[in-house]
Amino acid sequence: MKVTVLVDNRDGEQIRGEWGLSFYIEYTYEGAGTENDGKGSRTVLLDAGLSGLFAENAEKLGLDIKAVDYAVLSHAHDDHANGMDTFFELNDHAPLYVAEGCDENCYDRHGIFMKYAGVPRGIMKRHAGSIVKAGKTTQIDKGISLLGHSSPGLDRLGRAEKMYLRQGLLKFIPDDFRHEVSLVFELPEGIVVFNSCSHAGADNIINEAKQAFPGRRILAMIGGFHLYNKTDKYVRDFARRVLETGVEAVYTSHCTGERAMQILSGELGDKMHAFCTGTTFEI
């Protein structure tokens, strides 16, 4: 599989980024997308960043948004979802998969105030015919699956991050990340896991994938790890837990943060790979 980073908050050498994330994933696997289990291929867009910049960058990189077979929204935050209207303008056939818990109800707490931080208002209705809500485990094509969280107690992480879900007019509950999914690709050698912000903890997410695909090697964990606001000790402890999962490589940027990436590089050694806007890598 080949992965191209269309948008990250770190600029590439000759291509501009923004705070957000978008991956263009070209996947080939025996049996993918075919009825006769022959060799097939699929193109998946994971997230669309904070604006339509992902599409501009795709054109600069020679990638065709019209060729995307499936779009996936990793979670219901604006820096991953705001470009989706642009996606639908350019692609009239690909379904957009979202978590069953995805809705227009994500907020950040700033003191006594709640600020909306979710998907574009009205998008769920505007594109209702193209949006597919995925359950806890959903196969979207041969070798391509979505996993909802199975780890308990995630609402405590939401409270710590001051992230909330609105329920009704004035009720807010700590975010338990019911709107977040992992995207998993099966390769002959093992599986590759994407989770764009890993709010549940990348170590927990890797273990969730191990439970869903028992006995398979975890070739890579790819995404942001939401460590930009964590202490050095927290990041080192996190790195130890990641090593204990047995994952063979991690690719990260976005909400991981520069300082945390430096620490992870020291702790994880050659397992650690940083990306930026325009980065391309193969697995």
Where do the H-state alpha helices sit in 46-179? 53-60, 78-81, 84-90, 123-126, 155-160
pTM exceeding 0.85:
yes
**Model confidence at 34: pLDDT above 50:** no
**Quick one: pLDDT at residue 32?**
53
Residue whose structure tokens are 């391509």: 144
**Model confidence at 205: pLDDT above 80:** yes
pLDDT per residue over 253-262, tens digit each?
A: 999 999 999 9
Query: Is residue 73 within 8 Å of 108, Cβ to Cβ?
Result: no
Q: What percent of the chain has pLDDT over 90?
A: 93
Measured distance between the N- and C-terminal CA atoms of the chain, rounded to whole angstroms: 5
pLDDT per residue over 57-81, tens digit each?
A: 999 999 999 999 999 999 999 999 9
Query: Is residue 23 within 8 Å of 45, Cβ to Cβ?
Result: yes
C-alpha to C-alpha distance for 21 and 251, rounded to whole angstroms: 13
Kindly state the average pLDDT of the residues 48-59.
98
Sign of dihedral through CA atoms 138, 140, 146, 148?
A: negative
Half-sphere exposure of 56 (CA within 13 A, CB side): 13
Bridge partners, residue 221, by sequence: 193, 250
Of the candidates 74, 36, 32, the one whose C-alpha atom is nearest the C-alpha of residue 185 is 32
Write the DSSP string, 4-26: EEEE-SS--SSS---SS-EEEEE
What does pLDDT average to over the chain?
95
